[in-house]
């Protein structure tokens, strides 16, 4: 299944606020489709439907394909610890996610484009793979070019985050960040029950 490229507001109306998907807000309040209108507005979801929606929230927020998300779930199961939290930590350590969290980009798609175009460096090396897994003490910055610097500076002004999460340290003078720890559940702005996502994939 390929990455979703359709209307984003339609997804946010169905699944709720997804910070990584879009910053825009729809004027419509109903869910999309016939089910969103008066007759089916209060229709109760099945247990499968609830788990499916939680999975879709994760997938659309981080801009993943179905196969990518399934691979992350399998990796989270393989590691020791709370599977749901490990899954979120794996996703939060992606290079495109960290760029979005730091305010280098306004959305995950924008962050992915920045990385693809070679504007972002990790430990002074240009990385053009959005799914690159960063590690503790990695330094995330921009390519040593004026165009990259201006781009990041403008994005930071337009997407200034009110507070940088505790697992990251950001140096405003150098415009670079260091990964100091794995993220805490409270640092993730997405309203989600990750346990339901694990349960959704438990049947596969």
Cα(190)–Cα(155) distance, rounded to whole angstroms?
Answer: 21
Q: What is the pLDDT along the chain (204 residues), one digit of tens a residue?
A: 466 666 666 777 777 777 777 666 666 666 666 555 444 455 678 888 889 999 999 999 898 999 999 999 999 999 999 999 999 999 999 999 999 999 999 889 999 999 999 999 999 999 999 999 999 999 999 999 999 999 999 988 887 666 788 899 999 888 899 999 999 888 887 888 899 999 999 876
pLDDT at res. 189: 78
Residue 169 bridge partners (DSSP):
178
Contact residues for 145 (Cβ-Cβ < 8 A; gap 6+) = none
pLDDT value at position 33?
Answer: 61
pLDDT for 38: 46
Task: Label the pairing between strands 176-179 and 125-126.
Answer: unpaired
Find the angle CA(62)-CA(65)-CA(69) to the nearest 5 degrees.
70
Q: What confidence tens digit (pLDDT) does each residue in 14-52 have? A: 777 777 776 666 666 666 665 554 444 556 788 888 899
Q: Give the span between the Cα atoms of 185 and 46, in whole angstroms.
A: 27
- Distance, in Å, from the CA atom of 193 to the CA atom of 51, rounded to the nearest integer, reads 9
Neighbouring-strand partners of residue 171: 176
Supply 106's token pair. Answer: 């306004």
Q: Which domains does the chain have, with CATH numbers?
A: 8-90+192-201 (1.10.1050.10), 94-181 (3.10.290.10)
């Amino acid at each position: 299944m390929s990455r979703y490229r359709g209307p984003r507001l339609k997804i946010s109306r169905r699944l709720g606020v997804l910070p990584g998907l879009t910053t825009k807000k729809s004027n419509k309040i109903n869910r999309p489709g016939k089910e969103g209108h008066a007759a089916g507005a209060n229709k109760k979801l099945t247990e499968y439907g609830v788990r499916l929606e939680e999975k879709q929230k994760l997938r659309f927020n981080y801009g993943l394909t179905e196969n990518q998300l399934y691979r992350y779930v399998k990796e989270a199961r393989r590691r020791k610890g709370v599977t749901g939290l490990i899954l979120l930590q794996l996703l939060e350590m992606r290079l495109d996610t960290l760029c979005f969290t730091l305010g280098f980009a306004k959305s995950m798609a924008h962050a992915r484009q920045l990385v693809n175009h070679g504007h972002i460096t990790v430990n002074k090396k240009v990385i053009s793979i959005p799914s690159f897994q960063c590690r503790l003490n990695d330094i995330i910055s921009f390519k040593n070019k004026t165009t990259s610097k201006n781009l990041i500076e403008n994005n930071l002004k337009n997407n200034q985050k009110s507070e940088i999460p505790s697992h990251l340290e950001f140096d405003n003078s150098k415009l670079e960040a260091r990964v100091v720890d794995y993220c805490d559940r409270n640092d993730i702005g997405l309203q989600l029950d990750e346990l339901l996502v694990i349960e959704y994939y438990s049947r596969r």
